[in-house]
Chain A
Amino acid sequence: MKDKRWRMVVALLVPVIGLAACQSSSASPGNGSTTGNGSTTIRIGLSASFSGATAFYGQQAKAGAEVAVGELNAKGGKYKYQLVTADDQCTPDGGSSAFGNLLDVQRVDVILGSPCSAATLGGMTLLPAAKAPALTVSSTSPAITQQAGIGGNKYMWRMNINDDVMATVFSKYIAAQGIKKIAIIAVNSDFGQGAVAAYKKTFAADAVTITTTQFYTQGGGDFRTQLTNIGASGAQAMLIIGAYQDAAVMMRQFKELGLGIRVYARGDVVSTGFQQAAGSPGLGNGIQEADNWDPSYQAYPGFAKAYWQKFHGDPQSYAVQAWLGMQVIAQAVAAGGGGLAGIERGLATVSWSSPIGPVKFDAHHQAHHDMFIMTFDHGMIKMVKRIHTAG
């Protein structure tokens, strides 16, 4: 009996230890060059979800950051870059724990992340005590902008535009296409709830009536009931707020139910990931999406090629945004020097004409790069419009 118990313990522990080794494979602390402030090694801590239903956020962000680290180190120069990771599970508690681990144990010079607003909001409260800067490149909650910079948390920075800005621009675009009645289907999360709140305000301002608002659980897989409600609501169009994985399944069921209304999206729906998950190249034809990035890869051919060579697949939004974030950090280091204070100083001076538009932080540490309206046209991703949000 004892033997069997041991066998079970070993059977359970071996994969867990293996996983732990994989998770922390990027680097380990205590190598003598980890504290910044004069060191020539810049330790970047990526806070993202690496487990559970949102693990793809972390895997993608890590892959994009790894490509950037390789490129930056290959360029040579005074500083070397090193990436370490922490799993924030996409939750406020997880964010607090991950930021704490990166600051106190891994002793990073700057935090990149989190892709999830909930984790960023949970972790950013630790930054002032550690006097450590963090740059998020994918969190879209307006609350981060409200709490960062002047009069608030001066160590939190955001490269991507937030939901308030995106909703203002995108609802005007939708209204201009003659849509008077729209239904919303959103993921039931901080991201989805926050975006719905933003669109309720902006659609009202643009005289677009929301006929119904439906929520779904991420990874749920069955959206027929919500789609039936949308079909019965008399909407001329549907706005999907969620990730491409769910949107791909949703669009299959949309076709199954014979719905013929126009589809708009907000998330990373118009992407090669959607095409792979959809299983049918034409499934997404006509969807128009407001994006933080250009998913056609024409804007960053060098990165897309390097990513392909390393990972044999297309980079998705979190990978591209992490790569862009790493470029911003490199610019901050070049301007302000290494270490916590140097990067914090440098971020304030960043003024970069990035592939997605100008990256320059305002008083609330919010950058205002361009917004992209993308669509699927005969199975191909095409840019419909590039909109300047700065000023």
Chain B
Amino acid sequence: MGFFLDQVVNGVILGSQYALIAAGLALIFGVAGIVNFAHGELFMVAAYALYLGESALGLPYAAAAVFTVIVMVPVGGLFYGVVIRPVAGAGWQKQLVATLAASIVMVNLAIVLAGSLPKTVSSPLAARVAVVGGVHFSLQRVLILGCTLLSFAALHMFLMRAKWGKGMRALAQNRSACAAVGIPVHRMGLLAVVIGSALAGVAGALIPVLSNITPTMGLLLTIKGFAAVIMGGFGNVTGAIVSGFALGLVEAMAMAYVSSAYADAFVFGALIVTLLLRPQGLFGHAVRVS
């Protein structure tokens, strides 16, 4: 039982990382209609911002983490202006190439500017370990889980209650109708990318404390984030979050009870099975095409 509980905790922690990335991806796709292959690189930029805050500016961890999320707001705006906006109305092929190219450029720029060797950041919570029911975990993991859930709650409130949030949901349902009634489609797209970047900022401010910062740190998370977005129903933020946690649990259980060599096969196998049973994803709605 203790071993199972250990692995559940591992899966939830892993899933919270996938969910943070997936939520931003789903939001950008739902509102701007673009599959952002460079989303993991926004996470990487955020991690380097955290490093910059701690090492160059000498900020304590908490201040550096806030600094990171704030920095990601203009970074998101810049990303929208340079990469997303020019291909907003273009075909999916151009959008795919633009975001993929941005991903490659960002990774290699990071290698040139920061080097390929890992950077580390520290938090006072990382070294403090709690033991609950025989399960060991650092308080930084509690912080990650707490901030992740808090971010999702704030995002949910914004989408359900705020005028701009309601506009985003409308846009996700029918872009043409929104444009016809005067909803500022591009400004909504900009806001979605900025919020997505801020979520990547939250991930970048929390996760690197437990790992290292490298130019390619976003690649693996993006792949799993995409799996969560597809599994949840493309563009559905709630679906992406739930699927992120589900994939984390599947991965942990596959590693615990089958083989760590095939954990990824199980993750993507779960995605395929879900799509076979529900082609529209867990939270997507089927559409009848005449």
Contact = CB atoms under 8 A, between A and B. Distances in A.
Interface of B: 3, 6-7, 10-11, 13-14, 17, 82-83, 85-87, 98, 101-102, 105, 107-109, 111-112, 115-118, 120-122, 126-127, 129, 131, 136-138, 207, 210-212, 214-217, 219-220, 251-252, 255-256, 259-261, 263-264
Contacts of B116: 55-56, 59
B104 to A, nearest CB: 8
B216 A221 contact: no
Interface residues of A, number: 47
A222 B121 CA distance: 16
B212 A258 contact: no
A219 interface: yes
Contacts of A215: 259-261
Contact of A4 (B85, B120, B255): B85
B264 A217 contact: yes
B83 A279 contact: no
A214 B262 CA distance: 10
Given A56-B117, A188-B261, A225-B14, A219 B216 contact: yes
A141 to B, nearest CB: 18
A15 B3 contact: no
B21 to A, nearest CB: 13
B213 to A, nearest CB: 10
B255 A277 contact: no
A12 interface: yes
A226 interface: yes
Contacts of B115: 56, 59
Q: Is the interface of A mostly helix, strand, loop or mixed?
A: helix
Given A252-B126, A252-B210, 15 more contacts: A8-B98, A19-B112, A53-B216, A55-B215, A59-B115, A215-B261, A222-B211, A225-B11, A225-B260, A229-B260, A248-B118, A256-B137, A273-B117, A276-B120, A277-B117
A131 B86 CA distance: 50
A245 B107 contact: no
B3 A228 contact: yes
Which among B11, B82, B137, B255 has the greatest number of chain A C-beta atoms within 10 A? B255
A347 B87 CA distance: 55
22 contacts: A4-B85, A7-B82, A8-B83, A8-B87, A12-B98, A51-B107, A52-B107, A53-B214, A215-B259, A219-B219, A219-B220, A221-B210, A221-B211, A222-B17, A225-B10, A225-B252, A225-B255, A226-B255, A228-B7, A229-B255, A245-B117, A278-B120
